[in-house]
Amino acid sequence: MNDALPLQFDPSGLILLNAIIALMMLGVSFELRVSDFRRVAARPAGALAGLAAQAVLTPAATCLVTWLFNVDPALALGMMLVAACPSGALSNILTWRARGTVALSVSLTGISSLAAVVLTPLNFALYSWLNPRTRELMQEITIPVGGILAQVALVLIVPMLLGMFLGARAPRLTRVVERPLRTVSLFVLVAFIVIAFAENRALFVARFPDFFWLVVGQNAMALVIGMVVARAARLSEADRRAVTIEVGIHNSGLGLAILFTFFPSAGSMMLIVAFWGVWHLVSGLLLTSWWARRPPVDECAGVPAAAGRA
């Protein structure tokens, strides 16, 4: 696909971007244990609700909306790539801030990242083909499934396994470095995206009406899907907050890394994915600021839940 826009991007920045994603995943995984996955398997309602909302309903809804509203095919492909990406490490920080169940959030991030090795290229290819308006573009490009699989494994799965190993073998060290690592890597990722915007501000301003409402609308839709599915699964309020944030916060950094690596001329897709990296931070902070002042209620006891941050 040749949708070249005059984007200013230093290819060497791709190495930094992948390193940031890997560091964020490493920091998230220090407290992740095999027992967490066993616990989720023993009480799977929260994980199943989150995965269904994130990996099935959000990509399907994105495909349907882009088709019904006749979204420009190149921009629609960007929306579908975001929808196909797993949740990111930012979701764990926001869940903690929202007084949600952090253990569920971290487990969902780990599971969705593990599943992303298959689901990210599969969902992107499937739903881009199902939309008749993007199908023609998909026929013009070849999705390097093997390359995307390798990249997802390298920046998500390897750091996750390494983080779990270090967390189990060197818990004192990981307790010391965990929070600074998360904070610094998040700051660097935000700085990376802000700098990319600054270097291309004229282009972003010129195309602002094309992508702004698409990103805002898709993000709002994902948050609503997460909330509705969590309610339908009758999860506790703390679990509902975790699932909502997991579904609404996507690893847009991974999306950018995929684009810069495999589709460097897909300018419209980059506009969507890059702005997602900014907007979901804004929407996530706004939502969690609201929840932070309202402790989750234990519906059974009718009192604020004590383990919301556990």
Tell whether 183 is covered by a domain.
yes
Tell whether 185 is covered by a domain.
yes
Q: What percent of the chain has pLDDT over 90?
A: 31
Tell whether 184 is covered by a domain.
yes
pLDDT tens readout for residues 190-248: 777 777 777 777 777 788 888 899 999 999 999 999 999 999 999 999 999 999 999 99
Q: Which residue has the higher pLDDT, 129 or 19?
A: 129
Question: Per-residue pLDDT averaged across 66-87, rounded?
Answer: 93
Tell whether 1 is covered by a domain.
no
| Residue 3, helix vs strand vs coil | strand
Using CA atoms, how far residue 51 sits from 8, 48, 108, 247, in Å, is: 36, 5, 7, 8
The pTM of this model reads 0.80
Q: What residues make up the domain containing 280?
A: 13-304
Helix axes 58-68, 102-130, angle to 10 degrees: 40
**Residue 5: is its pLDDT beyond 60?**
no
Alpha helices in the chain (DSSP H): 13-29, 34-42, 45-51, 58-68, 73-84, 90-97, 102-130, 132-140, 145-152, 158-169, 171-199, 201-232, 237-248, 252-262, 267-292
Buried b (16+ CB within 10 A) or exposed e, 7-17: bebeeeebeeb
Report the CATH number at residue 43: 1.20.1530.20
Q: Which residue has the higher pLDDT, 11 or 52?
A: 52
pLDDT tens readout for residues 105-128: 888 888 888 888 889 889 999 999
**Residue 256: is its pLDDT beyond 80?**
yes
Q: Which residue has the higher pLDDT, 280 or 149?
A: 280
Tell whether 309 is covered by a domain.
no
Lowest model confidence (mean pLDDT) among 11-25, 69-83, 203-217, 272-286: 11-25
Q: Could you give the CA distance from residue 100 to residue 94 in angstroms, rounded to a whole number? A: 9
Tell whether 4 is covered by a domain.
no
Q: What percent of the chain has pLDDT over 70?
A: 88
From the number of C-beta atoms within 10 Å of its C-beta (0-12, 13-18, 19+), residue 191 rates as: exposed
pLDDT tens readout for residues 259-292: 888 877 777 888 898 888 888 888 988 999 899 8
| Number of separate domains in the chain | 1
**Two structure tokens written together for 159:** 């750091």
Tell whether 7 is covered by a domain.
no
Lowest model confidence (mean pLDDT) among 64-73, 125-134, 164-173, 187-196: 187-196
Q: Could you give the CA distance from residue 60 to residue 67 in angstroms, rounded to a whole number? A: 11
Tell whether 53 is covered by a domain.
yes
Per-residue model confidence (pLDDT) at position 62? 97
Backbone angles phi, psi at 87, to 5 degrees: -70, 160
Question: Per-residue pLDDT averaged across 60-88, rounded?
Answer: 93
